[in-house]
Chains A and B, each alone.
Chain A
Amino acid sequence: QVHLQESGPGLLKPSQTLSLTCTVSGASITSDDYYWSWIRQPPGKGLEWIGNIYDSGHTDFNPSLKSRVSISVDTSKNQFSLNLTSVIAADTAVYFCARDGGHYCSGATCFNIDAFQIWGHGTRVTVSS
């Protein structure tokens, strides 16, 4: 069974860099079929995709955060990490790591599963002076 677990500091001051790690168990992070994402949820609000990493190093990011975000992978520890620079109060949120990918077939045609099947429990990050 695949499990994801987020870890990192829960309190930051404005202008600092947020660094979170997601530890993956039950699956290899180097698998070609899957994509590893960071998603956040501000208090009382909806979900926002931050970015992902796949193929052991390729990344895509939400354009609204791209200038401040980086995601990396440590294959030796089966982990991937998020860095968000110059944090502000609006970055206060629960941060989730999640996995999507794989395939399903309908008749003779197969499609990607573009949905997050596995989620971590989330870690709360507060930005406050």
Chain B
Amino acid sequence: EIVLTQSPGTLSLSPGERATLSCRASESITRTSLAWYQQKPGQAPSLLIYGASNRATGTPDRFSAGGSGTDFTLSISRLEPGDFAVYYCQHYGSAPPMYTFGQGTKLEIK
């Protein structure tokens, strides 16, 4: 089973700054099956990125993502107040079929 480890656990930044979040897989994964979500308190997660680097409908271009193999990143430029939330990475593996989430990174206002 693939394990996704996100770092840091908490990231404290100020509006206007740039955030870089990491997601590391326990073994090499297919980048087309790596996604990122944003979750605000009391809400369902919202898809930001699929296929490691493709922005979902409605995701601002301040959000960018990439990576390959075991290391993937989500970057947010020019942080806005609404960006402070918890971010999860997620992987789908087909043998056996299984969706796995990282433990999350909390992005908080400094």
Question: How large, as a class, is the contact surface on chain A?
Answer: 20 to 34
Q: Identify which of A46, A96, A112, A122 gathers the most chain B CB atoms within 10 Å of its CB.
A: A46
The answer, among B1, B44, B47, for a CB contact under 8 Å with A115, is B47
**Minimum distance in angstroms from B96 CB to a CB of chain A:** 7
A37-B99, A49-B100 known; A117+B47 contact, CB < 8 A: yes
Does chain B have a CB within 8 A of A55? no
By a CB distance below 8 angstroms, the chain A residues around B54 are 104
For B56, the chain A residues whose CB sits under 8 A away are 115, 117
Q: Are B96 and A48 closer than 8 Å at their CB atoms?
A: no
| Least distance between A26 CB and chain B CB atoms (Å) | 15
Binary interface profile of B, 28-54, with partner A (CB < 8 Å = 1, else 0)? 000011010100000111110111001
What number of B residues sit within 8 Å (CB to CB) of A?
27
Which DSSP category, helix, strand, loop or mixed, fits chain A's interface? strand
Interface 1/0 per residue, B74-105 and A, CB below 8 Å:
00000000000000101010001111111110
B→A interface (CB under 8 Å): 1, 32-33, 35, 37, 43-47, 49-51, 54, 56, 88, 90, 92, 96-104
- What would 10 more interface pairs be, CB under 8 Å, given A60-B96, A96-B45, A115-B92? A46-B88, A46-B101, A46-B104, A47-B90, A47-B104, A49-B100, A60-B98, A104-B51, A113-B51, A114-B35
